[in-house]
Structure 1
C-alpha cells in the first residue's frame, strides 16, 4: 500500500504532542502517534475492530532536521501488515 497525496495532507498537520490521534479517511480507519512536537511519526491504516485495534498496514516516518530545526528529509517507510 502507498500513502496518497490526500492522506499526506492530513499527516503534514500538527497535532497534540505525544498522543494517539484516530480518524477515518475514506473507507479506512487511521491511527497515528505523534512525537514531542506534534508531528505524526507512526501510522496505522486499515479496518478497526470493535476494540479499536486496526488491522491493516503500518508506516513509520523518517523526519530529519538540521541544527536550526529545518527539515532535511521527510519520508514514510512501509513496515508491513499489522
Structure 2
C-alpha cells in the first residue's frame, strides 16, 4: 500500500534531529523517527494502543542526496510490513 500523499507531504518537513514524534493525521495515529538531519526516516502508522505503541504498518524512507551536499535529490517511502508495536 502506498503512503498517502498528504502524509508524505507532511513528512517532507524537517524536525528535531534524532527525535521520536507522535502525531495524528487523517484519522490515523503516526509515530516517526528522524535522522541526524531532522528528516523523518521511519514511520509507524495505524492505531495507538494505551501503552503508546502503534498497531499498523511500518514505512522506511530512502533518501538520495546530491553528491558532496546535504541537499535531497530524491526520496521515497517503502512499506516494510505490519507491526504490532512501535
One fold, TM greater than 0.5? yes
SS of residue paired to 1:9: helix
- Which residue of the partner structure matches residue 68 of structure 1? 69
Unaligned runs of 5+ in 1: none
Distance across 2 between alignment mates of 1:70 and 1:13: 13
Moved over 3 A (4+): none
Compare 5-14 and 35-44 and name the one that shifted more: 5-14
Report deviation, 1:69: 2.3
Per the normalisation by structure 1, the TM-score is 0.93
Pairing 1:29-68 to 2, within 5 Å after superposition: 29-65=29-65, 66-68=67-69
Unaligned runs of 5+ in 2: none
